[in-house]
Each structure stands twice: as structure tokens, then as C-alpha cells.
Chains A and B, each alone.
Chain A
């Protein structure tokens, strides 16, 4: 078990460009979560999947954001037409569905800088 893996670890992009982050969860975990963390703040929930179904999305997830988990394994988070306010650390986490469904294992995060 190699833990939760996120790629790329760092991404610098220009405003208006599209970016995509990938998350590979722990293989036996069927729930996968995306969080966003800005400097000096705690993580904020964005969305989560159970297997391939996206079960909840936060209001923070604007129309420019889309997340997928097509085969119930890895997930991608795409941000279209990036804005400077999108600069943050994007964290992925995974868990079992039950029991202990709310104990999350986090990845190291993907840091986005929008110039």
C-alpha cells in the first residue's frame, strides 16, 4: 500500500489556462475526496465520490471545476480558465465506505499557482 498519490505536486500556469490534477487513492478505499487549502487556512471540502458516483459537491466547486472518477479508481480534478483566486493546494483523500468512513487518508497535495 503506497498511500494516496497526487500528481503533479506543483503546477504553475497562466491565468486562463486549463489544469488537471490526478489522484490515485488507496486501492481498497472506495471513497475519494477533494479538498482545497489556501495559505494559512484549513482544508475546505470540494466534492466526494463513492466508487464512480459523485455524491456531493460543495458550493465552492464553481462551473469551471469538474471532477471525475470514471472507473472508481483514480480521479481527476480539472479547472478550466484558471483565475488567480484558484491558487491553492488541492488535496485528495480516500477512505472506506464503512466502518470508519470518515477517517481520511490524505495525499501530499497538488499546489497550483496561477500567474
Chain B
């Protein structure tokens, strides 16, 4: 069975702190994709990143970075120097068996609160 686990339900940090959101996945597929989406209070999920199973290079985009480790089935997301605007629910997701479709399996989400 395929599954995504985000063990951290809520995280609260003070602005400018670094924060890491954990994601652990389960799949028997050799080809799959991993994603992170952000859901601000407005409700619309915003795509942040997609990673395929053959690319384990870490990625950095501004204050955001992602660490993909197949050995531990993890795809963690770090926000450096957090800002109040980063407050949102963050979802990690895994592509289904048909990895080229948008049939995704989402984790339960981590609510991040960044206090000024």
C-alpha cells in the first residue's frame, strides 16, 4: 500500500527561525514522484516542488530547501529564516501507481505557525 506520513501535526516558531517539516512515504513502485504543496488560510493548494524517484539531489529555492533520501523514504522540507507569510498548512504527497497522473496520495499535513 502507498502511504504518506507527516508526523508533525503543528509546529510553532518565531520569525527568522529555521524549521523542518518531515515527510515519510511508503511505496513499492520503483518510479514515483514526491511533492510538497502549501495551503494558506485562503484554502487554495499551491504547488511548491516535485521530485522523481531517480533524482536524489537536494534542491534549494530561495529560503526553501528539500532533502530527499530514498534510504529512509523521506522527503523533508526546510524553511530558512521563516517569515509570518510562511504560516500555512503544508502537505507532502506521493504519486500513485500511475505516476504520470495527478492521482496523488497526501499526508495529513503540518500546520506551521510563524509568530512575529
Binding site for B on A (CB under 8 A): 31, 33, 40-45, 48, 55-56, 89, 91, 93, 95, 98, 100-109
Shortest distance from the beta carbon of A31 to any chain B beta carbon, whole Å: 6
* A-B residue pair count with CB separations less than 8 angstroms: 69
Question: Within 8 Å CB of A91, what residues of B?
Answer: 45
Q: Is the CB of B43 within 8 A of A109?
A: yes
Binding site for A on B (CB under 8 A): 4, 33, 35, 37, 42-47, 50, 91, 93, 95-96, 98-109
Cross-chain contact of A45 among B4, B44, B104, B107 (Cβ < 8 A): B104
What is the bound-complex CA distance between A93 and B100, given in angstroms? 15
Cross-chain contact of A43 among B33, B47, B91, B98 (Cβ < 8 A): B91
Cross-chain contact of A42 among B50, B99, B106 (Cβ < 8 A): B106
Q: Is the CB of B102 within 8 A of A98?
A: no
Shortest distance from the beta carbon of B101 to any chain A beta carbon, whole Å: 6
What is the bound-complex CA distance between A106 and B102, given in angstroms? 11
Cross-chain contact of A102 among B4, B102, B109 (Cβ < 8 A): B102
What is the bound-complex CA distance between A98 and B106, given in angstroms? 22
Q: Is the CB of A42 within 8 A of B43?
A: no
What is the bound-complex CA distance between A91 and B104, given in angstroms? 13
What is the bound-complex CA distance between A108 and B37, given in angstroms? 13
Shortest distance from the beta carbon of A89 to any chain B beta carbon, whole Å: 7
Cross-chain contact of A48 among B50, B101, B106 (Cβ < 8 A): B101
Shortest distance from the beta carbon of B110 to any chain A beta carbon, whole Å: 10
What is the bound-complex CA distance between A87 and B31, given in angstroms? 35
Q: Is the CB of B91 within 8 A of A42?
A: yes
Shortest Cβ distance from B4 into A: residue: A42
Q: Is the CB of B108 within 8 A of A42?
A: yes
Cross-chain contact of B106 among A44, A100, A109 (Cβ < 8 A): A44
Q: Is the CB of B33 within 8 A of A102?
A: yes
Cross-chain contact of B47 among A103, A107, A108 (Cβ < 8 A): A103
Question: Within 8 Å CB of B102, what residues of A?
Answer: 31, 33, 48, 93, 95, 101-104
